[in-house]
Amino acid sequence: MSIEKHLEALKAKHEALDIEIEQEGNRPLPDQTLISTLKKQKLKIKEEIEQITAKE
């Protein structure tokens, strides 16, 4: 997989997590543990994106 395709996949996953976090937050009784887990995943992806773009 090329770096560009990997970067695109990471950005897509980052956006999908953002949507999932928003949807969970809008529920009547949001699962805060799930939201926390999703935010951690989102942060790891963001850090990986930043590492890749810093090398270019």
Q: What is the mean pLDDT of the chain?
A: 95
The domain limits of the chain are: 3-55
Q: Which of 11, 43, 36, 2 is nearest to 21 (CA)?
A: 36
pLDDT at residue 55, as a whole number: 79
pLDDT digits (tens, 9 = 90+) for 15-29: 999 999 999 999 999
What one-letter code names the amino acid at 1?
M
Picking from 52, 55, 40, 39, the residue whose alpha carbon sits closest to that of residue 10 is: 52
| pLDDT tens-place string over residues 35-44 | 999 999 999 9
